[in-house]
Structure 1
Amino acid sequence: MEHGPSDLAFYTCGCLLLLIGLVKLPAAINRRHDMLLRAAVALLVIASTVFFLGAPDSIALINEMSGVPNLAAPLTYTALTAFSGASLLLIINWRPARPEQTRRASRICIAGSCFVILAIHGLFWLGDTPVEQLTLFDGYYADTPYIREMILLYLLAQGAGTLTTSILCWRWSREVTGSLRAGLRILVPAYLLHVAYDGVKLVAVVARWTGRRWDFLIDQVAPLAAAPSALLVVTGFALPLAGPRLALTFQALRQLQELAPLWQELHAVPTPGSVRTALPWWSTPAVRLTARMTAIFDALLSLAPYYDARARDEAYRTAVGSGEPPRCARATADAAMIIDAVRRQRTERGPDENLDNTTWGTHDLVHLSKALSSPVVHRFRLSGGSVESRPA
């Protein structure tokens, strides 16, 4: 009786890997010269193929449609060998090295993988596998001439490839930082689990040679390493690819939060000629941040005729007197002048000859927003435009 993980587990992992690959596929097509991105997408697709081919229902379907018992075995072994070879090839080309060294290592990796794949199919056709095995092929045919060599070859080749990949990932991770380092550190255990997968199966095969039946290692223990390995591989490769975008997203969210006080102060300011439209719910934080900053600048521009230099100078002197550093005091003075301008706009009363021509850049908005919480600005707001008459 055969056991093992359900088809659902195989198909779920395969779909997850394929989905990640398809998400990055448009970028890989558009960025034709980015070979690393295209290689990563290809690797994810190959990994998904491994799981699709390894599902018991898929194995049965391939055998039935081909009319060849156990034809799915060499096909699955081919996908596994291609996966380990592609993983090693990707890391070889991803890691900075001398071009000639990279080319030499790449040629060895490609040649070795092709040799193993050709040998797998050659040994399969030389051997005899009349009894279909959906999950226990490795154990059932461990003593069969030529098939024995085929099984041993693919286990050793895949184990060596994934172990080398894991070692390279660890070494490289000590030289880099950020999302790339995190991704490489995740890939280390991911490929070590692949080594464990091959090692457990190899133990079961050797046990067959000595007359023991440890088939549970093949269909019950070994698959336990496959799903976690797939999840870690997806995470490890996706993190460096998506890391910069995630960092920008978190940065946009943080800036939106930091700009909230300034936007609360200015959102009611009329901005003739400016168009404010509600963004759809699916808008990214970056898009929302751009729209928010544009609206803030429109409001600041609308307030320009009402900026009073006296209010700014008075707030600056009070802030400095309260112990604020000059840079913070300038932001505090600007925030107080903006509050005063909002009040003047409402009463349609400009600053006359004391007009202030201060302008702000994008990097100034967060400082202005934070300055609104200053005690000096709070006293300025309560006093109706004067802070010097109030105690510090």
Structure 2
Amino acid sequence: MNFDVIYILAGGTGLAVALYKLWGLRRRWGQATVWSLVLSVSSVSACALASAPQVGSWINAVTGIPNLGFFLAYEFATIFSAATLALVLFWRHHFTHAWHWVRRIIGGYSLVLVILAATFFAADLPTERLKDFDSYYAHQPSVATFITVYGAASILAAAAQLYQCWSASVEAFAAGTVRLRWLARGLRAYMITASCPLAVSAIKILNVVALWADSRALTTINTAAPVLSVAVGAPPLVAAVVLPVWGPRLTDLRQWGARWRRFWYLRPLHRQLRQVDPNKVLVVRRFDSRHRVRRIVHELNDWRWDLRPYLSPRVGEVAAAMADQAGLSGPQHAALVEAAQLNAALLRLRGQGEQVEPSPTAPSFDTPHDSADLTDEHAWWVLVARASHHPLVPAILAAVADDYDPTPTSS
């Protein structure tokens, strides 16, 4: 396993994200959440870089202090734990309430940083160990204390973050808005990242206990756990930062594509019905998909209203019977009946030559697509447009051709 590649790649990606958020900070200097986010991403990225064996060796050589790179990685990891816990509190609670707890977090984790520095520099560490420092020196009480204090602080912060993120994501999903749903996805992505240091810290503490019990059963997994944690936790961390910002834009893009698909489904039916009254065609903004779909559905509804005098109950009955025989049900069944009625009404209109005034006594045919939800109405007309090309439609028209009277219905 190439530790350097994984650590440096993860650290570089994290620093790029931190710079991206730092660029956005210029407009929001006073927001504690943004500062906490920048600090958390920067510290975990610095931790990953310092953990790379080649980078750690360079730090040790430049400073002349063996294993200093390992110490810095643990310090940055502790800062990450404090910053992310503060970030979640600032996001979930009012600043005054959150600051009450964040002050205690700053004080507590500052004490942890001091203890880590004291125990590290109190230890006798003559040999550089780039990958297995904590296993190699775990027999020293100061190093065992160093690892235990770090592990306990990381577990506490990670557990609190998991609880806060899960609670906030449940609330965000329940709110139902697009932006909050993407925020909830970002929080749950971050839960994967937060669970990684929790697992690594637990393994490190158990490894120290095992080594003091003269067992090396966990040394291999203890060495591999940090790099696996970075490899697994870095992508969700990037997702957690990016999803709340870009997720709603992805939703807008998907809806934009869906509107164009609806437009192309509706266009043949629109061209077919426009002969009812070409004067009702509205001016089109060519590249605005929302306008084009709303416009086309509005015109389809107008033309259907104009066709009411030509809608035959006989066509509806035959269409329903043939749809039943074909095994259609639900919206597909209703759409086929509607498509058959519209096609038959168009044939009747063409038989008149010029458009005629609808009879005020014409029967009313309720449309299954009446809805306050425009999305439902669009979806209904797409079903009708597709049903217009169903092979049953010509068969239905042929079945009613003999008794079809090409005059408007009246009572």
1:1-392 paired onto structure 2 within 5 Å: 5-22=2-19, 26-30=23-27, 35-37=32-34, 39-95=36-92, 97=93, 99-144=95-140, 146-177=142-173, 178-213=181-216, 214-263=218-267, 291-294=288-291, 310-311=306-307, 314=310, 368-373=381-386, 375=388, 389=404
Structural RMSD (CA) = 4.9
Q: Distance in 1 between matches of 2:389 and 2:311?
A: 7
Conservation of the 8 A alpha-carbon contact between 1:10 and 1:55: yes
Q: Distance in 1 between matches of 2:168 and 2:295?
A: 48
Q: Distance in 2 between matches of 1:116 and 1:49?
A: 18
For residues 13-70 of structure 1, the C-alpha deviation after alignment (integer angstroms, 9 at most, x for no partner) is: 2344344445555545445566535533442333222211111111111112222222
The residue type paired with residue 66 of structure 2 is P
Deviation at 1:296, TM superposition (A): 6.4
- Counterpart of 1:287 in structure 2 is none
The residue type paired with residue 107 of structure 2 is A
Unmatched runs of 5 consecutive residues or more in structure 1: 277-289, 355-361
- Secondary structure of the 1:372 match is helix
**TM value normalised by structure 2:** 0.66
For residues 214-272 of structure 1, the C-alpha deviation after alignment (integer angstroms, 9 at most, x for no partner) is: 532431345434422333434445444443333333332322222222345679x9x99
The residue type paired with residue 165 of structure 1 is Q
Deviation at 1:153, TM superposition (A): 2.1
Q: Distance in 2 between matches of 1:170 and 1:307?
A: 51
Q: Which stretch shifts more, 74-83 or 19-28?
A: 19-28
**TM value normalised by structure 1:** 0.68
For residues 133-186 of structure 1, the C-alpha deviation after alignment (integer angstroms, 9 at most, x for no partner) is: 111111222234644433332222112211222233334444441344444444
Q: Distance in 1 between matches of 2:48 and 2:232?
A: 13
Q: Which stretch shifts more, 246-255 or 176-185?
A: 176-185
Q: Distance in 1 between matches of 2:136 and 2:189?
A: 34
Q: Which stretch shifts more, 114-123 or 50-59?
A: 114-123
For residues 107-127 of structure 1, the C-alpha deviation after alignment (integer angstroms, 9 at most, x for no partner) is: 111222222223323443344
Conservation of the 8 A alpha-carbon contact between 1:260 and 1:369: no
Conservation of the 8 A alpha-carbon contact between 2:152 and 2:201: yes
Q: Against the structure 1 CA distance between its residues 248 and 221, is the aligned structure 2 distance closer, same or farther, given a 3 Å change threshold?
A: same
The residue type paired with residue 114 of structure 1 is S
Q: Distance in 1 between matches of 2:94 and 2:85?
A: 17
For residues 65-110 of structure 1, the C-alpha deviation after alignment (integer angstroms, 9 at most, x for no partner) is: 2222222122111110011111211111222x45543221111112
Q: Distance in 2 between matches of 1:318 and 1:17?
A: 68
Conservation of the 8 A alpha-carbon contact between 1:5 and 1:223: no
Conservation of the 8 A alpha-carbon contact between 2:81 and 2:158: yes
Q: Against the structure 1 CA distance between its residues 220 and 367, is the aligned structure 2 distance closer, same or farther, given a 3 Å change threshold?
A: closer
Conservation of the 8 A alpha-carbon contact between 2:3 and 2:227: no
Identity among equivalent positions (%) equals 24
- Counterpart of 1:281 in structure 2 is none
Conservation of the 8 A alpha-carbon contact between 2:263 and 2:293: no
Unmatched runs of 5 consecutive residues or more in structure 2: 174-180, 275-280, 321-329, 359-373, 407-411
Deviation at 1:367, TM superposition (A): 5.6
Q: Distance in 2 between matches of 1:83 and 1:310?
A: 67
Q: Distance in 2 between matches of 1:88 and 1:293?
A: 42
Q: Against the structure 1 CA distance between its residues 194 and 389, is the aligned structure 2 distance closer, same or farther, given a 3 Å change threshold?
A: same
- Counterpart of 2:370 in structure 1 is none
Q: Against the structure 1 CA distance between its residues 64 and 24, is the aligned structure 2 distance closer, same or farther, given a 3 Å change threshold?
A: same
- Secondary structure of the 2:251 match is helix
Q: Against the structure 1 CA distance between its residues 367 and 109, is the aligned structure 2 distance closer, same or farther, given a 3 Å change threshold?
A: same
Q: Against the structure 1 CA distance between its residues 376 and 254, is the aligned structure 2 distance closer, same or farther, given a 3 Å change threshold?
A: closer
Deviation at 1:198, TM superposition (A): 0.9
- Secondary structure of the 2:288 match is helix
- Secondary structure of the 2:103 match is helix
The residue type paired with residue 204 of structure 2 is K
Q: Against the structure 1 CA distance between its residues 234 and 138, is the aligned structure 2 distance closer, same or farther, given a 3 Å change threshold?
A: same
